[in-house]
Chain A
Amino acid sequence: MKLLTLNFLTCARKTCKSLPAAFPLHPKDAELEVVETDFNAPFLRNILGRLEWDALKTLCMELGLPNLPPSAPEPEALLEPGAEMAELELERELEPTQTARDLHNLLLETGIKEGKLVCGNCGHEYAVKEGIANFLLPSHLV
């Protein structure tokens, strides 16, 4: 389960879903894996504005990953310095910045392979096995 996906996931219980304490889920006994994927500038730029940056910072801290800057980078910071905004259409030709590479590595290449995801509100633990998380609930939590 990639770190990007975790930024969109909360507790599946109806009583938790809208509560701030249920998001983000907290990793427990997490074994991380890094799987190389193609750099995807248009996707990275689109998804940047949809991230909850604070939740990502929390997750990195809890996983013992290097600290993130206090706020999300601007989309312009994904391009090589000096590149004009007008060249956005041609960005596949442009070199990604170090910021973009770091973000790609963190969001799209780093994931939890084995472990648990714990709800900060109800304490329910969701298992992750072979990178696939299971969000099914027993009857008493439905």
Chain B
Amino acid sequence: MLEYLIRFSQIHESFRKPELEALASFHGIDLEVLKYEENSPFCTVRLVSEKAAYTLISRSILAHAIYELWGVGTDYPSLHADVHARTASKSASYKDSSFRFTIDSYQGKRNSTAQRSLIESFKYFGFKGPITMNGAELQLCIFEDYEQKAEEPFMIYLGRLITGSQRQFMDKYNLKKRRYISTTSFDSELALVTANITHAAAGKLFYDPFMGTGSFPIACAHFGAMTVGSDIDSRSIRGKKNRNVLSNFHQYGLTSHLLDNFISDLTHTPLRVSRCLDGIICDPPYGVREGLKVLGKRGGGGEEVVMIGDKPAHLQEGYLAPKKPYSFNAMLDDILEFSAKMLVDNGRLSMWMPTAAEDIELGIPSHPWLQLVSVCVQPFNKWARRLLTYRRLPEAEIDQSIIIQRREYERDGTADELNAFRKKYFEGFKEI
């Protein structure tokens, strides 16, 4: 087993390890995390081979790159000592390679003179090859980790670049450059991370039952999955001429990965019960703007056919099906139940769930056929949203003696009565 250094971005900290672990399990790579801290972008891991290191990071979004670890120390003398111990055999094989040295100081700064002298301090390697700025065969980087406002780093690493990640794609899919978006379109970086955590990949079928303008299907399609999406709001799918979900797929050259979009409500889904989905990703509307709605008439009733003239209203052009407010917690349970029935063995569900900061410890919805894989938190000021990821247990691992009991929810009421989060949102949250 060999040691590697992962250079993460210092953002969305609680998503970094789940993404890394999801990529390891997706590729069947044994991953041993040696050192990882939320407040540092540097992480050391043990892996079986360079090929495993390459595979692990090559589609990551939250990592920048992975390096073969050539040395680590709390100051330069201890780093050099460690480099001598680790690289005696390695560095010789790069004697005539083109090479490049860089310095990456986190929360610290070095002027160019200081940088040059640090690089000079490694001249004992005796590299004879040309120095190349682009595409050097050997790319070494000195990493310095500083405490905030410290003069000197508390940890220094030397690493040889193995591969970069797919982090640059968050810019390609940036919402600012996307032709069709709405207020609920999901930021491209976390959409791509969600697709990674959910194991989106070529050959797989992924579904988003609350697709909106298609943020998650696009992210899944980027990783090669075939995607299906639906939404209760027909306007969000159809959009306008040349500005709709289909045009977004066109913009990115991904139309071959868009199977279909249709208009439907998850509580009355037309998908037949069958284990046909490899992954489900959704950000169910918690209805801060309009309130979560499903099909049905508010306050009950509506059993009779509504007529306009001598023709039933629902058979006429431009008919809008009535919708009623629905409990957000009931919807989360509906999503779990749906996923339990529809996912293939080991298929994954990722769903986003908002929580008031004071409720962060509140329960995570569960289903006996689904195993919770990871919980990531994106904090905002007074609320947070969590990404919950589950794995559909293979049939053989399911405890058949457990009886699935649904929690009971208010059947009817106003949007606020049915949705505690929405209520708190408008009350401005409790001070904590």
Contact = CB atoms under 8 A, between A and B. Distances in A.
Interface of A: 1-2, 4-5, 8-14, 17-18, 23, 37-38, 40, 42-43, 45-47, 50, 108, 111, 125-126, 130-142
Nearest first, the 3 closest Cβ-Cβ pairs linking A and B are A139-B302, A42-B203, A138-B314
A43 B226 contact: yes
B260 interface: yes
B185 interface: no
B260 A2 contact: yes
A135 B262 CA distance: 7
B303 A140 contact: yes
Contacts of A131: 260
Q: Among A23, A47, A139, which residue has the most Cβ atoms of chain B within 10 A?
A: A139
A11 B256 CA distance: 27
Contact of B232 (A4, A42, A45, A136): A136
B321 A136 contact: yes
Given A40-B226, A130-B238, A132-B261, A140 B305 contact: yes
Nearest to A6: B260
A40 B232 CA distance: 29
A43 B205 contact: yes
Given A9-B271, A50-B276, A136 B264 contact: yes
A137 B228 contact: no
Contact of A1 (B255, B262, B271): B262
Interface string B283-308: 00000000000011100011111100
Contacts of B362: none
A14 B301 CA distance: 17
Q: Among A8, A9, A18, A125, which residue has the most Cβ atoms of chain B within 10 A?
A: A8
Contact of A5 (B260, B297, B304): B260
A12 B260 contact: no
B302 A17 contact: no
Contacts of B137: none
20 contacts: A8-B272, A8-B276, A10-B272, A12-B270, A14-B268, A42-B203, A45-B203, A46-B204, A47-B205, A47-B226, A50-B274, A50-B275, A131-B260, A134-B264, A135-B230, A135-B269, A135-B270, A138-B321, A139-B322, A140-B305
A71 B295 CA distance: 38
B264 A2 contact: no
Nearest to A9: B270
A109 to B, nearest CB: 10
A134 B305 contact: no
Contacts of A135: 230, 262-265, 268-270
B203 A46 contact: yes
A130 B203 CA distance: 26
A133 B272 contact: no
B78 interface: no
B380 interface: no
A12 B301 CA distance: 19
Contacts of B228: 5
A13 B262 CA distance: 16
A142 B296 contact: yes
Contact of A138 (B255, B256, B301, B306): B306
Contact of B262 (A11, A17, A133): A133
B398 interface: no
Contacts of B275: 50
Interface in B237-268: 237-238, 255-256, 259-265, 268
